[in-house]
Amino acid sequence: MTRQPQAMPLAFQACQNLNLPVRQNTERLPAYLLEQDRVLAALLEWEKLTPLGEGRFSYAVTSLNVFQLQINPVVSLKVDNCDGKLSIRATDSELKGLDLVDDFDLGLEAIMEATPKGLEGEALLSVSVTPPALLKLIPKGVLKSTGQSILSGILLGIKTRVGQQLVKDFSQWCQETPIRSSETAINSKQLGEE
């Protein structure tokens, strides 16, 4: 009995760097990054985020149309704070509404750091998926370049949102939130390490 050859999974990734100058209250950025819910709402679309408990969220990525298929990725996120940095990592992912794909994995590693000049960061987004039979006639190179283009578009959209929404939200947070003694301790520790 001969086995049908299994389709090889496609893997692609995209990376985006962030260098966001902040003109006022930069000393308060480490404390702001501790506000995980607020920062995530400014980075992503809050209505698509579901808090799951301490530092854990589910995020419904914007629906994508790929070769006439509508794809709805949902990713579980783990958010951590350490030394003035906010890290976001995907812990699990699935495709909603597309039963044709058995093995789908969306990876995300992102870090944002408070610096004396503003915010710096990097995000790496990757996908591994075996194309469904519906797409087997499309050349692998076309599928791969389309996938990479989609990932780059997602990251660029987030970067644009960060540049507009995050700075605005940080400024609003500074106006609404009095400086706390714990915030002063965080800033002193950060400045002592540099």
Q: What residues contact residue 64 under an 8 Å CB cut-off, 6+ apart? A: 70, 71, 72, 73, 150
pTM for the complete prediction?
Answer: 0.76
Nearest to 114 by CA among 179, 194, 57, 181: 194
- Smallest CA-to-CA distance from 108 within 16, 8, 171, 25 is with 16
Contacts made by residues 164-168, CB under 8 angstroms, sequence distance 24+: 165/42, 165/43, 166/20, 166/39, 166/42, 166/43, 166/119, 167/20, 167/22, 168/42
Say how far residue 17 (Cα) sits from the centre of its chain.
12
Q: Is the pLDDT of residue 194 over 60?
A: no
Q: How far apart are CA 93 and CA 105, in angstroms?
A: 6
| Domains defined along the chain, listed by start | 10-129+137-193 (3.30.530.20)
- CB 161, CB 16: distance < 8 Å: no
Distance CA 187, CA 31 (A): 8
Instruction: Give dist(CA 58, CA 55) in Å, integer.
Output: 11
- pLDDT band, residue 1 (cuts 50/70/90): very low
For residues 165-176, average pLDDT: 90
Label residue 64 by pLDDT band (50, 70, 90): low
Q: Give the pLDDT confidence of 182-192 residue by residue, as tens digits.
A: 555 455 455 44
| Predicted local confidence at residue 183, as pLDDT | 55
99 has a pLDDT exceeding 90 = no
- For residues 70 and 77, which has the higher predicted lDDT (pLDDT)? 77
Residue 6, pLDDT above cutoff 60: no
